[in-house]
Amino acid sequence: MIQSQAYQQIRVDGHILEARTLFENMRIGLAASAALLLTSHATAQTGNGLNLMPMPTSVRSGAGRLSVDPSFSIAVTGFKDAALERAIGRFVAELSRETGMSLKQKTAGSESPTLLIHAAHGRESVQRLGEDESYELVITESGAKLTAPSPLGVLYGLQTFLLLVETTADGFSVPAATIDDKPRFAWRGLLIDVGRHFIPLDILKRNVDGMAAVKMNVLHLHLYDNEGFRIESKRFPKLQEAGSDGLYYTQNEIREFVAYAHDRGIRVVPEFEMPGHNRSLFAGYPELASGPGPYRVDPGGVDAVMDPTRAETYKFIDEFIGEMAELFPDEYFHIGGDEVSGSQWNANPKIQAFMRSHGMKTNADLQAYFNQRLQKILSKHHKIMMGWDEVLHPDLPKTVVVQSWRGQQSLATAAQQGYRGLLSFGYYLDLMWPASQHYAVDPMSGAAASLNPEEKSRILGGEACMWSEWVTPENIDSRIWPRNAAIAERLWSSPDMQDTSSMYRRLDKISQRLEWLGLTHRSSLVLALHRMAGANDVSALRTLAEVVEPVKDYARWSSLKGVWDFRAPLNRLVDIAHPESEQARDFRDALETYTGSGYKDEAAEGKIRARLILWRDNDAKLHPVLEQSFLLKELGSLSEDLSTLASAGLLALDYLDKSMPSPNSWRAQQLALVESAKTPKANLLLMVADPVQLLIEASEGRKQEP
């Protein structure tokens, strides 16, 4: 691991704070926990800074603070419209909620307002990729001024202001500062798969609020997949009628939702996946498929693909896209194009004959032919085509945008060939990585790093992806947040932002703010624990739940018995346990402090010991609870492992405390237990196994100097 360090000085409230920024050229794909341990070790001495996420391009701290009290007022000069008024209204409402002061919106005639807002001109009626998103926020003791080319920048500046509000000994206030800010990438997206599990609009709305808070600007809706068709078509009503369980967005709902997102600076890019992942579409229109059917949105089922050889297919697509173009004003339409299985094409003699007569050798050639015709239809409806890596083909025009789920190499290749692209590899939220692992992924790293400037300019940004095989309305917030905020910072802020300690400190704060916005990423856990524990007390269960994480990457799939049943209840601990355990992270941090002090830091040791005692004693309390719930029975050995690990950790701590090397035989025995505790159980990982292992190993007696 190559490391270099930079120092950045930030003046806050008269004090010089030293913010040590650490550059890390971290290899993607390191095991999550190992990456986390190494990173947090290397950056343990990082100082405090402002609680901003994403961090602005430039922050110069000034002297003093601006008070935020009930006299708070706002004036607007320059461009004004109803949307800007609404934005200011939301800002005042949020400031009111977060301070508990019932502030009123005073926008007219303020002589010396607390906050002066000035936008030079209006926004585009349809938000455009690459529109100027910059803003400047100048805060002094006597007032703040937010200026931006358009209200888009004002939206971002208001979010920054909200993050700066602090509770102090003298009242609420924001530190004096001059902030110049604009995004590094123009495309900062979040994909939500509403096909596999339907997500109601109120939940999408609160996620849009969250995206706006972290300055993301694209919501990519994966509108259907084999398991469900989620958007009303009036021309082809069997799409939603046969293709869903009644759970879909009506056209009126989606229009209102798109306007809601636009108000908050978020583009809604729809995905109409073709020609694969189409089973729900064929349920109503089997004639579009390459195989005979019948098609139903049941678990399992054939891997069905559109028939690209029939004129009727393109007639359908033309009419359908035409209808959808009226609903989704964004210039970009995503057509999916990934994971097209060739089996139906191979098995259809007419398709084979078509390929032969057109000189096509591979199924990839056939898909390219399909995509070319698709692209022309989109173009007719004034839409620019996007697709996953697989759409990349020399026959497609250079306007096509490639979204890479395969990696930076694929993105770089596309850029070299003249295509624009964005990165999603490394940003798959469903893989349950820790935030630090996503944070280390940069669209410009790897193969992209050696592109020339023109090629680099074709890399538009990235998109976090929330695939929903194991996602429900209940757990979706906890899968997206707070980790998505780390990705948002990667896409907005300087690539120099590499300090994971600073990232986690600020992530905790933004996570808190996201709960104010109505997201339930923290609160949903406790409710679910009550469901699982029935009438029993949940405190012991919570202690266990807070130190486990769902298995990573695609490990959960391998535990499936039979086919994946998208209708199966998702109500076990693996479905709601946080992707990243804060308790385990805290414990690792304390352990690092203790180790770094040469085992002399008593506060850290006390914290470690208290936690280990809690965990050691937990199984005795939890065991009877587990016995009484069918949802919890599977957690028995996990709970025992936690107690076993904690007992071993306490003994190791005693050895260290007494500066007495632990016996080799004891250590070998304990390390074997640790190995066994590392095996996933009930699709969950015990996240304290690694730090306890470090403790046991350290008890051998190799002391580190403070």
Interface with a second copy in residues 634-653 (CB under 8 A):
none
**Mask of contacts with a second copy, 104-143, x by CB under 8 A?**
x---------------------------------------
Q: In the complex, what is the shortest distance from the CB of residue 97 to a second copy, in angstroms, rounded to a whole number?
A: 7
Question: Binding a second copy by CB under 8 A: which of 253, 303, 515, 617?
Answer: 515
Q: Which stretch binds a second copy (CB under 8 A): 310-318, 365-373, 478-486, 565-573?
A: 565-573
Question: Binding a second copy by CB under 8 A: which of 430, 549, 575, 580?
Answer: 575
Active site residue 136: no
Nearer to a second copy, 455 or 582 (CB): 582
Residues 266 and 216: beta-carbon distance below 8 Å:
yes
CA 299 from chain center: how many Å?
Answer: 27
Of 484, 445, 493, 504, nearest to 40 (Cα)? 504
By CB under 8 A, residue 180 contacts a second copy:
no
Q: CA-based diameter of the chain, in Å?
A: 83
Q: Which stretch binds a second copy (CB under 8 A): 271-279, 524-532, 667-675, 677-685?
A: 524-532
Query: Distance of CA 64 to CAs 91, 143, 176, 613, Å?
Result: 23, 11, 6, 45
By rule CB under 8 A, what count of residues binds a second copy? Answer: 44
By CB under 8 A, residue 346 contacts a second copy:
no
Q: Which stretch binds a second copy (CB under 8 A): 37-45, 281-289, 454-462, 533-541?
A: 533-541
Residues 648 and 674: beta-carbon distance below 8 Å:
yes
Q: Which stretch binds a second copy (CB under 8 A): 361-369, 432-440, 530-538, 648-656?
A: 530-538
By CB under 8 A, residue 512 contacts a second copy:
yes
**Mask of contacts with a second copy, 240-279, x by CB under 8 A?**
-----xx---------------------------------
Q: Which stretch binds a second copy (CB under 8 A): 388-396, 400-408, 532-540, 641-649?
A: 532-540
Question: Binding a second copy by CB under 8 A: which of 509, 609, 621, 623?
Answer: 509
Q: In the complex, what is the shortest distance from the CB of residue 101 to a second copy, in angstroms, rounded to a whole number?
A: 4
- Give the position of tokens 């208001």: 158
Distance CA 465, CA 404 (A): 11
Nearer to a second copy, 338 or 469 (CB): 469
Find the radius of gyration of the CA atoms of the chain: 27
Distance CA 485, CA 514 (A): 10
Distance CA 511, CA 481 (A): 7
Among residues 85, 339, 602, 627, the one annotated as catalytic is 339
Question: Binding a second copy by CB under 8 A: which of 28, 570, 671, 694?
Answer: 570
Query: Distance of CA 582 to CAs 182, 482, 589, Å?
Result: 31, 11, 10
Distance CA 514, CA 519 (A): 6
Q: Which stretch binds a second copy (CB under 8 A): 221-229, 258-266, 376-384, 520-528?
A: 520-528
Q: Where would I find the H helices in 458-559?
A: 476-480, 483-492, 500-516, 523-533, 539-545, 555-558
- What number of other Cβ atoms are within 10 A of residue 663's Cβ? 12
Nearer to a second copy, 441 or 533 (CB): 533
Question: Binding a second copy by CB under 8 A: which of 101, 613, 671, 694?
Answer: 101
Nearer to a second copy, 332 or 587 (CB): 587
Q: Which stretch binds a second copy (CB under 8 A): 137-145, 169-177, 231-239, 677-685?
A: 169-177
Q: In the complex, what is the shortest distance from the CB of residue 522 to a second copy, in angstroms, rounded to a whole number?
A: 9
Q: How many residues does the chain have?
A: 706
Q: What is the DSSP string of 574-608?
A: HHHS-SS-HHHHHHHHHHHHHHHTTS--HHHHHHH
By CB under 8 A, residue 38 contacts a second copy:
no
Distance CA 303, CA 298 (A): 12
Question: Binding a second copy by CB under 8 A: which of 9, 25, 142, 168?
Answer: 168
- Give the position of tokens 């039979």: 562
By CB under 8 A, residue 627 contacts a second copy:
yes
Question: Binding a second copy by CB under 8 A: which of 99, 343, 352, 416?
Answer: 99
Residues 25 and 441: beta-carbon distance below 8 Å:
no
**Mask of contacts with a second copy, 49-68, x by CB under 8 A?**
--x-----------------
The beta strands (E) that lie in 367-434 are given as 384-388, 401-404, 420-423
Residues 302 and 315: beta-carbon distance below 8 Å:
no
Residues 6+ apart with CB under 8 A from 32: 433, 434, 437, 552
By CB under 8 A, residue 476 contacts a second copy:
no
Q: Which amino acid is at 160?
A: T
Rounded to 5°, the CA angle 446-448-449 comes to 70
Q: In the complex, what is the shortest distance from the CB of residue 100 to a second copy, in angstroms, rounded to a whole number?
A: 3
Residues 430 and 469: beta-carbon distance below 8 Å:
yes
By CB under 8 A, residue 17 contacts a second copy:
no
Residues 6+ apart with CB under 8 A from 214: 53, 54, 484, 485, 488, 489, 492, 510
Nearer to a second copy, 216 or 574 (CB): 574
Hey, what are 254's tokens? 């989606």
Q: In the complex, what is the shortest distance from the CB of residue 512 to a second copy, in angstroms, rounded to a whole number?
A: 5
Q: In the complex, what is the shortest distance from the CB of residue 170 to a second copy, in angstroms, rounded to a whole number?
A: 6
Nearer to a second copy, 98 or 319 (CB): 98
Question: Binding a second copy by CB under 8 A: which of 9, 167, 346, 559?
Answer: 167
Q: Which residues are catalytic?
A: 339
Residues that bind a second copy (CB under 8 A): 51, 70, 97-102, 104, 166-171, 245-246, 472, 474, 509, 512, 515-516, 523, 527-528, 530-535, 567-571, 575, 627-631, 633
